[in-house]
Chains A and B, each alone.
Chain A
Amino acid sequence: MPDNSFACLAAIAYHLPSAELTNEQLSDTFPEWSVDKIMSKVGISSRRVVAADEFTSDLAVAAAQQLFEESKINPGEVEYLILCTQSPDYFLPTTACLVHERLQLPSTAGAIDVNQGCSGFVYGIGLAKGLIASGDVRNVLLITAETYSRFLHPKDKGNRSIFGDAAAAVLIKADQEGGKVGKVILGTNGKGAKNLIVKNGATRFSKTADESLHEDDEGNLYNDNFLFMNGSEIFNFTLESVPVLVKDILEKNELKQEDIDLFIFHQANKFMLDYLRKKIKIPSERFYIFMEYCGNTVSSTIPIALKHALSEGKIKIGSKVLIAGFGVGYSWGGTVLQF
């Protein structure tokens, strides 16, 4: 009998769409934004974006298939699917049901979507841990998948430089092998909703024909049919919340900062990560950044970074890894994975 008092990250895989958006292409469109400058400020040299006929469910299915193949997982064993996305194929049905069908998961498996952004991976593993602890299931397939590129205005230099599309898939099992999920910390402040938002296109506001991009006094660009981000407000939110989040995760898991072997934060952009690292006083060798070839992939940044840190040997058996996601909502969360 599996021991349901443990929930472990047993396997990780991810998938990127094939079309690329390079700094050279961005620099051609925005001549004042040089290739070197993009790299030095945001730490990204290229990002992947979906094709016109490629959707969130496609990325999600590809990531899960990759996971099954790489880790020799039989889809017939999956008992529950959680799909985290803010760019679903449809309003309804649930994207998880489409993905469940294409992956040929058992008809007895649960399948739901969770709508959360940069904190979504932490939410997903927290929910999976709860489901396993309930004793109702022995494993959960968690997929994070976003196609934010569809939300970006073609002339929105800043956000097009940052965001990339991707999906990641992880299997969380009632087991003691892999990354054991520690105590999870979550937080919410809906006052920040207006600072990172796609306002039009759901039920409150319809999309309009206006395609022009406006600029506010701070240099933020907006058109309510597209994604809007107030960079300075989001940055201030992270400066206030992330150091407290890290402290709370450590306290709840009864650990000290020096007990953590590797810190993996949501890969927002390099400038922000470097500044947060310095502010929280984390040595650079224990702070992992992986975003150069995929950009900020929202809820997939942490599992993508985990995958690379594992394959580079930065995470070994016994390693304690602190993960922290924060952003749109505002919403934040984190935990410690004990490998």
Chain B
Amino acid sequence: MDKHQFLQSFAEQFDETDPETISLETKFKEMEEWSSMVALMIIAMVDENYNKKITGSDLRETGTIEELYERVSAK
């Protein structure tokens, strides 16, 4: 898994947020555009690109995009 590819795929799920403003350090649940709908899109992105399942708990228990990446990598 490539960390920067993950970040790019993560950022692509947002329609209104400038991808340039999204980094590995971004606390994704604090983003203005974060919603339960975006959560579904992230779950779908991880399923499609990495064939891995992330749960609501994974999203709840991680803060930054990098932390989520680490969690997905470990699965």
Contacts and interface: CB of A to CB of B under 8 A. Distances in A.
Contacts of B55: 232-233, 236
Given A232-B55, A232-B59, A239-B47, A219 B40 contact: no
A110 interface: no
Nearest to B58: A232
B15 A232 contact: no
B22 interface: no
A33 to B, nearest CB: 9
Place the interface of chain B in its size category: 10 to 19
A207 interface: no
A210 to B, nearest CB: 21
Contacts of A219: 29, 34-36, 38-39
A112 to B, nearest CB: 36
A230 B60 CA distance: 12
A231 interface: yes
30 contacts: A42-B37, A217-B29, A218-B36, A218-B39, A218-B60, A219-B36, A219-B38, A231-B37, A231-B39, A232-B36, A232-B39, A232-B43, A232-B56, A232-B59, A233-B55, A233-B56, A235-B43, A236-B56, A239-B43, A239-B44, A239-B47, A239-B53, A240-B53, A271-B37, A271-B41, A272-B40, A275-B44, A278-B48, A279-B47, A279-B48
Interface of B: 15, 29, 34-41, 43-44, 47-48, 53, 55-56, 59-60
